[in-house]
Amino acid sequence: MRVILAEDSTLLREGLVRLLAEEGHEVVAAVGSAPELLAQVARHRPDVVVTDVRMPPGGGDDGLRAALRIRAERPEVAVLVLSQYVERRYATELITGGGGKVGYLLKDRVVRVGEFLDAVERVAAGGTVFDPEVVRRLLARGGRGDPLAALTPREARVLALMAEGLTNARIAERVHVSVSAVEKHVNGVFDKLGLAGLAGVAGVSRRVVAVVRYLGQER
């Protein structure tokens, strides 16, 4: 894949460049600011962008805003966002953009090389990948009157894995149950979030709506 990397830490940026290159990917540009990222995307039209949230010139959410702009203007480009912290509204904006090809990982996840490379490949293939810690913290904030609070611990776990972009078969492997058991939990999530009536509606994915529903609780 052709990758553009945006990270203002020179050490981390060079480490990621080497890691991606060793995996056989072509890093067509590695930059340290949001304006450079936008310019290089326009020039190279990569398959995937990997970007930090906080970058120059403002040092705030410049990288995130650049990522959202790329998704709006070039939906064919997959975007994987890295962050030091859980930015709830950022995660919500990313997933509610629709269309897949998006991921949000905490930087701690990058040191787990296999998981990071798998996330890059999954978003490039059209999937969504959300860090399980991000999902856990979002789910943990549900209160009374929040339908998420009605989920059983297993249903909440299944929903978290759905947000990581896993299929039912992969979820079954992760939680060590049968695929049919996972399907039962998924249907339980749909029922408790009021999505049962969306079954069979053209153009609507109940899995995506479920994830958007709980991420949207933090807006």
Query: Is the pTM value of this prediction over 0.75?
Result: no
pLDDT at 80: 94
Q: What is the pLDDT of residue 108?
A: 81
Contacts made by residues 186-195, CB under 8 angstroms, sequence distance 24+? 186/158, 186/162, 188/151, 188/152, 188/155, 189/151, 189/155, 189/158, 189/159, 189/162, 192/147, 192/150, 192/151, 192/155, 193/147, 193/148, 194/147
What local confidence, expressed as pLDDT, does residue 218 receive? 41
pLDDT at position 131: 77
Q: Which residues of the chain have pLDDT under 70?
A: 86-99, 132-147, 196-204, 212-219
| pLDDT at site 83 | 86
**CB-based contact 120:50 (threshold 8 Å):** yes
- Residue that has been written with the tokens 């970058």 in this structure: 55
Segment 1-27, tens digit of pLDDT: 999 999 999 999 999 999 999 999 999
Residue count of the chain: 219
What average pLDDT does the structure give for the chain? 83
Query: What is the model's pLDDT at position 143?
Result: 46
